[in-house]
Amino acid sequence: MANRFSRTAAIGLICGLILALGGCGTLFGESKYADDPLYKTGYSDGCASGTSYVPGDPSTVRRDPNLYGTMKAYRAGWKAGFNSCRVNTATEPGAGADGLAGRRNGPSGY
């Protein structure tokens, strides 16, 4: 009976890990657009927005609306840059819980 339980637990653990990793989309934050210059431009704009974003103040968002709306590489870079820099600013010394306030739902709604 114990052997059957441990096998079931192991299968459950493996399935859970597969589901968790599958939700990541790409491993280790790599993008299929990483070599595209528009991705790099979007990343830079997104990072600048992530470090200065103030909810309700659109002037703190640096983003090219034409590129964001039409170019997948720019949009992917912008989102990656925003999320990467948003996390970094929230973990700086002194940020505390207030460093996370309003940063869970950025200007693109994620």
Question: Per mean pLDDT, which range of 11-15, 40-44, 90-94 is the poorest?
Answer: 90-94
The model's pLDDT over 53-81, given as tens digits with 9 standing for 90+, comes to 888 889 989 999 999 999 999 999 999 99
Asked if 1 and 53 sit in the same domain, the reply is: no
Asked if 94 and 64 sit in the same domain, the reply is: yes
Domain of residue 49 covers 31-110
Q: Taking the model in full, what pTM does it have?
A: 0.56
Greater confidence, 88 or 23? 88
Asked if 25 and 40 sit in the same domain, the reply is: no
Domain count, the chain: 2
How many other C-beta atoms lie within 10 A of the C-beta of residue 60? 15
Asked if 48 and 93 sit in the same domain, the reply is: yes
CB burial of residue 73 (10 Å; 0-12, 13-18, 19+): buried
Greater confidence, 45 or 13? 45
